[in-house]
Amino acid sequence: MRTNELRKLLEEVKDGQIEVDKALDHLKELPYKDIGIAKIDYHRELRNGYPEVIYCEGKSIDHIQQIIQEMLKGNNNILATRAKEDVYQAVKEICPDAAYHALARIITVKRKEVVTPDSYIAVVTGGTSDIPVAEEAAITAEMLGNRVERIYDVGVAGLHRLLGNLEIITNAKVIIAVAGMEGALASVVGGLVDKPVLAVPTSIGYGANFHGLAALLSMLNSCASGVSVVNIDNGFGAGYMASMINKL
């Protein structure tokens, strides 16, 4: 509910262009669609080709179908994250042009073009096992209208692999650093490169890794400046924020 919209609405009320009760309804009901099990947002971004987003984990296939059915009515792009193979099959039934990105566990529906800036986002991983989370970030960023460069398996155990790719990392507008184990990649990248680094701890590891806690704490305590952190395995969050920054 922005101030500008509020002022406009008040002026319409004053000018008699709109009834009080209707204005009230507008204020309360306009920005989302209530389908019982969910209240689907109609963000203004949709006008620009931005996708509607649905997080599938923990939702029944039936619910997911209902929600996507509703989303499809607007003929918008759709980004469904944390979707397993069976979810994809169910979505395909009601939307044959849905594409599945298996590694990233993402379903995409592309109905509109999105404007993409010249600058790009670099997605860097410590190891091969971190690729699924990195792909979630990369595909999210691409669906939001960004160019993405992938630089995978350049962890600090073999620093020369990272140094050998420094140029493409340095020239990005914003960097997503994805790493499990001890998560030192974020600090090393943050120390080498003068760009904002969004660190994504992954749950790759075992024992005292505690399902990503080690990497998370490591990244939060980074001695390098210019590093901020999202939740463990939250590739989507990093891709979304990187897109925001890349488009500034």
Segment near a second copy (CB under 8 A), from 69-77, 86-94, 107-115, 233-241? Answer: 233-241
x/- mask, a second copy, residues 32-51, rule CB under 8 A, reads x---xxxx-x---x------
149: left (phi over 0), alpha (psi -120 to 50) or beta: beta
Nearest CA-CA partner of 169 in 146, 144, 195 = 195
**Residue 85 is a binding residue for a second copy (CB under 8 A):** no
User: DSSP secondary-structure letter at 79?
Assistant: E
User: DSSP secondary-structure letter at 59?
Assistant: S
**Residue 191 is a binding residue for a second copy (CB under 8 A):** yes
**Residue 187 is a binding residue for a second copy (CB under 8 A):** yes
The least distance separating a second copy from the CB of residue 75, rounded to whole angstroms, comes to 21
**Residue 234 is a binding residue for a second copy (CB under 8 A):** yes
The least distance separating a second copy from the CB of residue 106, rounded to whole angstroms, comes to 15
Segment near a second copy (CB under 8 A), from 69-77, 88-96, 107-115, 170-178? Answer: 170-178
Segment near a second copy (CB under 8 A), from 69-77, 90-98, 106-114, 180-188? Answer: 180-188
**CB-based contact 122:149 (threshold 8 Å):** yes
The least distance separating a second copy from the CB of residue 89, rounded to whole angstroms, comes to 20
The least distance separating a second copy from the CB of residue 111, rounded to whole angstroms, comes to 21
- Burial (Cβ within 10 Å: 0-12, 13-18, ≥19) of residue 128: exposed
Q: Which of 47, 48, 57, 113 binds a second copy (CB under 8 A)?
A: 57
Measured from the CB atom, the residue of 109 and 204 that comes closer to a second copy is 204
Q: In whole angstroms, give the CA distance from residue 241 to residue 247.
A: 10
The least distance separating a second copy from the CB of residue 33, rounded to whole angstroms, comes to 10
Task: Based on DSSP, count helices (H) and strands (E) in the chain, helices before strands.
Answer: 10, 11
> Tokens in use for 43?
């963000």
Nearest CA-CA partner of 134 in 117, 122, 146, 145 = 122
Q: In whole angstroms, give the CA distance from residue 131 to residue 96.
A: 27
Measured from the CB atom, the residue of 96 and 160 that comes closer to a second copy is 160
Q: Which of 98, 104, 121, 216 binds a second copy (CB under 8 A)?
A: 216
Q: Which residues of 164-180 are buried (b: 16+ CB within 10 A; e: fewer)?
A: ebeeebeebbbbbbbbb
Q: How many degrees, rounded to 5, is the angle at CA 245 between CA 242 and CA 248?
A: 150
Q: In whole angstroms, give the CA distance from residue 146 to residue 247.
A: 8
**Residue 76 is a binding residue for a second copy (CB under 8 A):** no
Measured from the CB atom, the residue of 32 and 89 that comes closer to a second copy is 32
**Residue 62 is a binding residue for a second copy (CB under 8 A):** no
Residues numbered 99 to 158 that lie near a second copy (CB under 8 A) are 126-129, 131, 152-158
